[in-house]
Structure 1
């Protein structure tokens, strides 16, 4: 599979098969992804990879934390701005509505929607979870570099027949995760990522998110007319 195909084919998978992923395969993916871009070669990332009993412990931890505080744990790095402006607000709204429509969960079914949201904290059934850790002293640029690492992991996994879902939802339990993993105070978990084999029979995996047309997001200057 070439890079172009991997980019076009990759999507956020929200239903995985329970089939295990071998440690050697996970290590191979991450080893290749180490070549992701990093400004100044800071490589401002660490990863915590969980499977088996440790994965189950993290799932239980999240369930307990959110049962105690359904709004999540307050933190200095919110997932979204307090006010999401247009056109971004409409894009976010639409993908949510499209997803729930595929699942047959109407807007008035609050419990159904919460139940689907809670699957984030089960890695959507994926057997492997990856948490990305960054030093609090790092700036916005370095957070972007972690995103480059994550995208590289997703593309390598896609090329090797595995599926992924990047999960900022894990930010809702950052403090509990930090205690669980015994992170020092200067480190913070950015987000998680689910890794496994796609359940292609699951309706939710038919979701195709829309992208703005190129001329809406790109301005070309200095080119000669064709």
Structure 2
């Protein structure tokens, strides 16, 4: 598979087959991913990979915490900035509506939508979950490099026939996850990544999110 094909076909996979991913294959995936761009070769990331009972422990912790407090825990690094502005807010809302249209859950069925959203905290049934850890002392540049690492993992997963879903929603449980994983004093979880073989029968996997046109996002000067 060439890179263009991997980029074109990648989606946020929200339904997975139960097939296990062997440890050696996961290690090979992460080893190749280490070639991701990294300014100054700082490599400002590390990952915690869970499966089986270790993954189930995280799910159980999330269910208990969110049952007690559905809004999650306080964070100074929210998923979106407060008062997200246009056109970004419209794009965010549109992809949400596209997802629930694919799932055939109408707007008025708020309980149904909430039930579906809770699948985030079960990794949508993925056999493997990856948590990206970053040091809070890192600057904006290093956060960008960590994003390049995640994108590299996503494309390498496509090559292997795997799907991925990047889940910043885990940020609402950062203090609990920090304690559970025994992170260092200045370390934090940025996001989770659900990984596995996509379920072709999952309606959510028919969502192919819209993207802005090149003319909307690019200026061409001096051509």
Q: Shared fold (TM-score greater than 0.5)?
A: yes
1:91-110 alignment to 2 at 5 Å?
91-110=91-110
Shift of residue 185 of structure 1?
1.7
Counterparts of 1:56-71 in structure 2, within 5 Å, are: 56-71=56-71
Alignment of 1:72-87 (within 5 A): 72-87=72-87
Q: Deviations over 1:78-126 (max 9, x none)?
A: 1101111011111111110111111111112111111111111111000
Could you say what secondary structure the match of 2:122 adopts? helix
Mapped to 2, the partners of 1:38 and 1:150 lie a distance apart of 12
Q: Which runs of 4+ in 1 moved over 4 A?
A: none
- Offset, 1:201: 0.8
Map residues 149-160 of structure 1 onto 2, 5 A cutoff.
Answer: 149-160=149-160
Match of 1:161 in 2: 161
Give the match's secondary structure for 2:71.
coil
- The answer to whether structure 1 residue 128 and structure 2 residue 120 are counterparts is no
Residue 51 in structure 1 maps to residue 51 in structure 2 = yes
Secondary structure class of the residue paired with 1:161: coil
TM-fit CA distance, 1:133 = 0.5
User: Deviations 1:52-74 (Å, cap 9, x if unpaired)?
Assistant: 10000001111111111111111
Q: C-alpha separation between the residues in 1 aligned to 2:161 and 2:104?
A: 29
1:1-226 matches, cutoff 5 A: 1-223=1-223
Aligned length: 223
SS at structure 1 position matched to 2:84: coil
Unaligned runs of 5+ in 1: none
TM-score w.r.t. structure 2 length? 0.98
Q: SS of the counterpart of 1:132?
A: strand
Counterparts of 1:14 and 1:172, CA distance in 2 = 19
Q: CA deviation at 1:77?
A: 0.8
**What CA RMSD, in Å, does the superposition of the two structures yield over aligned residues?**
0.7
Gaps of at least 5 residues in structure 2 are none
SS state at 2:119 partner: helix
Instruction: Tell me, in whole angstroms, the C-alpha distance in 2 between the residues paired with 1:201 and 1:75.
Output: 36
